[in-house]
């Protein structure tokens, strides 16, 4: 079984408003193209409203209707949460939901504006997910990043950012592929995947990068897990917003 999971931000404004549903539609298209008969679609959508607000139920129903309209023959799961942790928090909620419902199989988790550009990613991700690999990510380059890659240590905008290990070791943040069983091992070792403040609104530099796409793999590295990657240029495309808006 494949659970195709997407971390999504609902409360966009201005010119990006059209991308709110366009990104979902793009992922639904890629979900349908994935070479797997047994698959279900998971959407984790973050909103700015405080927990307990009636918007949670309203938006959940709206997104369920939208997804089910495009996926009448597939099971859809929609999770709506407070906007505090970005893609890695989305991975956490997706994993928790699947585990709590005693589901098993692969999880392919994507950032909303990042997705496949061909149909080879699924087979090759499975082939890379060997016994000693905890997850398969994606890298904009040819190797797993560490230390001062992406100017993490020398660029001023990263000064004073939280760091979850020395050295920092990471894949880029668009794609995470593993199994529910392997993520259970991760939870046993590191607990919640994202170490941000669950009551504070998402900050891109802190939650998206330092505690997210850099922090999560760094935690795994220092917990003695090993991860692998697919090269972005071969398998994926980033920022498909212009394509998706044009097609809506």
The predicted-structure confidence for 195-206, as pLDDT tens digits, reads as follows: 999 999 999 999
CA-to-CA dists, residue 183 to 44, 58, 220, 223, 241, angstroms: 17, 30, 11, 13, 30
The span from the CA of 41 to the CA of 25, in Å, is 12
Q: What is the pTM of this model?
A: 0.94
Task: Tell me 83's DSSP state.
Answer: S
**φ and ψ of 153, to 5 deg:** -100, -20
Please check the confidence at residue 226 and state whether its pLDDT lies above 80.
yes
Copy the structure tokens of residue 207: 């939650």
Q: Alpha-carbon dihedral of residues 121, 85, 42, 170, nearest 10 degrees? A: 20
pLDDT band at 247 (very low <50, low <70, confident <90, very high): very low
Q: Please give the helix or strand (H or E) that residue 182 lies within, else none.
A: helix 180-190
User: Residue 52 sits in a domain of what CATH number?
Assistant: 3.90.550.10
Contact 165, 173 (CB under 8 A): no
The span from the CA of 27 to the CA of 236, in Å, is 12
- Count: domains in the chain: 1
Please check the confidence at residue 24 and state whether its pLDDT lies above 60.
yes
The predicted-structure confidence for 139-176, as pLDDT tens digits, reads as follows: 999 999 999 888 888 877 777 788 999 999 999 999 99
The predicted-structure confidence for 53-88, as pLDDT tens digits, reads as follows: 999 999 999 999 999 999 999 999 999 999 999 999
Handedness of CA 222, 223, 226, 230 (dihedral sign): negative
Q: Please give the helix or strand (H or E) that residue 39 lies within, else none.
A: strand 39-47
Give me the domain span that covers residue 56.
2-247
């Amino acid at each position: 079984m494949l659970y195709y999971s997407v971390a999504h931000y609902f409360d966009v404004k201005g010119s990006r408003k059209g991308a709110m549903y366009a990104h979902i539609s793009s992922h639904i298209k890629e979900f349908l193209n994935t070479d797997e008969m047994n698959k279900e679609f998971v959407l984790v959508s973050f909103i700015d409203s405080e927990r307990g607000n009636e918007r949670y139920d309203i938006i959940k129903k709206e997104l369920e209707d939208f997804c089910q309209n495009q996926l009448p023959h597939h099971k859809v799961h929609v999770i709506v949460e407070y906007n505090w942790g970005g893609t890695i928090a989305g991975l956490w909620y997706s994993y928790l939901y699947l585990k709590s419902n005693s589901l098993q199989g692969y999880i392919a988790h994507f950032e909303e504006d990042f997705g496949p550009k061909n149909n080879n990613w699924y087979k090759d991700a499975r082939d890379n997910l060997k016994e000693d690999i905890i997850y398969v990510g994606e890298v904009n380059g040819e190797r797993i990043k560490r230390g001062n890659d992406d100017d993490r240590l020398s660029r001023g905008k990263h000064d004073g950012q939280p760091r979850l290990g020395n050295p920092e070791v990471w894949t880029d943040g668009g794609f995470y592929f593993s199994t529910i069983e392997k993520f259970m091992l991760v939870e046993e070792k590191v607990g919640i995947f994202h170490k941000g403040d669950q009551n504070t609104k998402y900050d891109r530099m802190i939650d998206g990068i330092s505690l997210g796409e850099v922090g999560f793999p760094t935690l795994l590295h220092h917990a003695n897990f090993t991860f692998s990657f697919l090269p972005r240029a071969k398998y994926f495309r980033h920022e498909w917003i212009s394509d998706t808006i044009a097609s809506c």
